[in-house]
Amino acid sequence: MIWGSLIVILSIALLLPTHYYLSSYQWLVVAAFTLFGLGLAFYATPSTDAALTALPDDQVGSGSGIYKMASSLGASFGVAISATVLTVFSSDPQSIQWIEGVFNYVGRQDNTAVREAAFFAFGVNLLMAVAALISIMMTIPKKQTNTKI
């Protein structure tokens, strides 16, 4: 699960340089979404296993439904939060105009407000992924070895 989270964090980091030319950025996007899928694949199986193995056989179906519902709800909140950040910042470009001094936006300049807003939306995604990684590290028990006396 940690490896999956780290791969997702790397994929989000690849999406952050919204100030690049489109020809360069599109290759970063392809690599990022490939890594994103790989990271979710690394995360999903152990996550499901960790959530359902402790349940008795007669409760696995209910547990699976609750797990899937929580997963879908979390994804919905993530999309809603990211879309809100993107919408708020792109609708008022003056609120984040200071970022133009940090990054040199090359290429088309008519969409700079959206590119700046996307940077912040991806930044929020990055923070959520780091929070997920920290929660995994704090809550999932380490692998225990069986020692016989």
Residue 101 vs residue 56, higher pLDDT? 56
**Share of residues in the chain with pLDDT > 70 (%):** 92
Report yes or no on 145 lying in a domain: no
When divided into structural domains, the chain yields a total of: 1
Structure tokens given for 139: 């809550």
Residue 93 carries which DSSP code? G
Tens-place pLDDT, residues 13-62: 999 998 888 888 999 999 999 999 999 999 888 888 878 888 888 888 89
CA–CA distance, 24 with 39 (Å, rounded to integer): 23
Q: Is residue 123 part of a domain?
A: yes
> What is the pLDDT, as a whole number, of residue 33?
95
Q: What range defines the domain where residue 120 resides?
A: 2-53+67-139
Measure the CA–CA gap between 13 and 76, rounded to whole angstroms: 21
* Whole-number Å distance between alpha carbons of 75 and 145: 34
φ and ψ of 111, to 5 deg: -115, 20
pLDDT of residue 5: 93
Q: Find the mean pLDDT for residues 104-122.
A: 83
Mean pLDDT of the region 83-97? 83
Measured CA to CA, the distance from residue 18 to residue 25 in angstroms comes to 7
Q: Is there a domain that residue 61 lies in? A: no
Q: Is residue 32 part of a domain?
A: yes
